[in-house]
Amino acid sequence: MEFKQSFEELAAQDVHAEAQRRKDSGWRYVQILAVNLDNGVDVIYSYMLDGNLQNLVVKDMPRDGQLESIGDIFLESFVCENEIHDLFGISFTGMPIDFHGKFYRLSCDKPMTIISPEQLARREKEAKAKAVAAAKKEKDAQNASDADMEAKLAAMDPEKAAKVRAAMEAKRAKAAQKEAE
């Protein structure tokens, strides 16, 4: 027998009906897997029949999202559902065995992260470096703009140029005050 594996998308509202359809068609429940992403969680339901492993993916669930339990169809799913609830924050309605967030004893509120602390530190450092580079680029552009303005002011009547400089300085002071607040 040849082993095959596939991935298909599944809408959150269809999870329970699809589990029932699989059970009625002779499929075996394998697991529910959660994959932590930057902005949510992918929840993957795996079923097997005759060497064919099908993974049904509920994409981009919010961390406080809710899915219907398939525990009334496949009782053994309560383990994965409780685990996903505790580690990823997804709730399952109608679980036949619900540990109410106490399936694991956790030392922190959000134990599952997509990246290690080292990777997070590197990302934060890179973000700061990008912000500094962007600020420098903006300052350089402002300096070039100021140089252009000074060249224009030099060609103006000195009295008008003094008024424009005073207005520009007042505008800068107001922006600096607003930024300080």
pLDDT digits 0-9 by tens, 44-68: 999 999 999 999 999 999 988 999 9
Which pLDDT score, from 0 to 100, does residue 111 have? 54
How far is Cα 54 from Cα 27, in angstroms, rounded to an integer?
A: 10
Collapse the DSSP code of 9 into the 3-class scheme (helix H, G, I; strand E, B; otherwise coil) and give the result: strand
- Bridge partners of residue 33, in order along the sequence: 44
Both tokens assigned to 15: 């999870």
Which among 72, 75, 90 has a CA at the least distance from the CA of 33? 90
pLDDT at 4 over 90: yes
The architecture (CATH level 2) of 4-93 comes to 2-Layer Sandwich (3.30)
- Bridge partners of residue 31, in order along the sequence: 46
pLDDT digits 0-9 by tens, 97-145: 877 776 766 555 555 555 667 777 887 888 888 888 888 888 877 777 7
Strands (E), 38-96: 40-49, 52-61, 66-68, 91-93
How far is Cα 91 from Cα 77, in angstroms, rounded to an integer?
A: 13
